[in-house]
Structure 1
């Protein structure tokens, strides 16, 4: 395998469609219509791709605390990954969606949290793949068997206690990844309370891509985060720990490895 890049181009994936060391995962999802991603996948998807659902596979059931998308049980997710042929620390997983990495980045982050670094997102997502005329199908691939024993990386994650005790330290920055009007509390389409965690700065996740769903150039990721480049810890949250992963991907592309996910995010914060 070449050196792991966090992003692959549609053309690169086209060349590796038959590669036994590559597993493609369709992460399309709609928060407004939770069944939509699965329906879209059944109609057409990248040849050979499996489907993982944000609610059913990449999250665990909602409870009083923990936010709207609590992290999945690591062993459950590991079984699902093994069933689609992902060998721990061997197979390259390529994740895609059609939402500017909102859901593909969640899988990218989860795999790294499980200790599997061979993971990338597909630049441009499904629509750009389709527009290029590359192979799509409605054939659902068969399950496989592989060995996936996770090695959890706890340093990538923080909870509400960590956020409360560390967010105001001089070496720590708390980043809110939501759109600026939600950060300012002018609009709140999902959660019961509007606003942001005191002390948070706003880096909207949609700035990571252009309107077509392609990542901004790598130099722009570095410029975007230049004020935080020397920060010891960057705690990143959004509404429920999903789109925050797009910012964590952007930090990684900027060469900054101090980003941590507050998985419960705003929806967990306001539950106390």
Structure 2
């Protein structure tokens, strides 16, 4: 069996220097996850203009989500078989290939792929610290050439315990051993501003840990994450949500970095408020 070049159970974040030093490794696949909620074509345009050499592009709406329905949130989880085929087509082999995801939005979209791969049973995945800007700041190689498809074999092994639906949230959110975490910005959590969903506010009982607090303004991981999560570290169960199940994955990454496992309410507030 091919040896992994890195075990992301211990290294969920990699630096631009690390990625550059492994750029030619045949067991590495790089995925560009840049996206804009305000302009759904912007990420693809940015990728076409310039991306890390050898990187493939996966789109939040088209690849990392399934079509929106009446309920289930604005970014429902993707069809797993379809995503597995796409992962195979860019050379990912289950349990072997090292995957590095990046964006330019403080992990907002790269962490979605990071979480999805873990959910599908592939733990050998990391997010690029500082994103595309960090790569460019070193003048490391970029290109506008899309790499050819590769031969991989991705067989999902779903970790179903890592995701919950609205019924499970209703049943468990008020239990004393459960903590429900809202990952949105404070003003959205408090209901002072709601730019996307039709109803403002948060799920009753949720505590607020804004997703942007994992990184600084340049998109680099802030140290001392353990202190940030100390007050809920001993909870038996942590469920994280955001607006649509995307940026909640940043908090799931943050928790993983300090050794805390948590679950995703995939539909998040956009699902919850669709029933109100």
Provide Cα deviations, 1:198-227, integer angstroms capped at 9, x if missing partner. 00000000000000000112xx11111111
The C-alpha deviation readout for 1:21-45, integer Å capped at 9, x for no partner, is 1100000000000000000000000
1:3 Cα deviation from its structure 2 partner: 3.0
Residue 165 of structure 2 corresponds to which residue in structure 1?
A: 159
CA shift digits 1:84-128 (9 cap, x unpaired)? 000000001000000000000000000000000000000000011
> Structure 2 length as normaliser, TM-score?
0.97
Query: TM-score normalised to the size of structure 1?
Result: 0.98
The equivalent of 1:65 in structure 2 is 71
> Where do 5+ consecutive residues of structure 1 fail to align?
none
Name the counterpart of 1:74.
80
- Partner in structure 2 of residue 253 of structure 1: 257
Counterparts of residues 1-272 of structure 1 (less than 5 Å): 1-4=5-8, 5-217=11-223, 220-257=224-261, 259-272=262-275
Deviation sequence 1:223-272 (CA, Å, 0-9, x none):
11111111111000000000000000000001112x10000000000111
**Secondary structure of 1:30's match?**
coil
CA shift digits 1:122-176 (9 cap, x unpaired): 0000011101111110010001111111000001100000100000001100000
Question: RMSD across aligned C-alpha pairs, in angstroms?
Answer: 0.6
Distance (Å, rounded) in 2 between the aligned partners of 1:267 and 1:133: 40
Aligned partner of residue 274 in structure 2, secondary structure? coil
Structure 1 residue runs of 4+, over 3 Å off? none
Q: Contact conserved, 2:7 with 2:124, CA < 8 A, in 1?
A: no
Size of the alignment, in residue pairs?
269
> Bigger shift: 221-230 or 245-254?
221-230
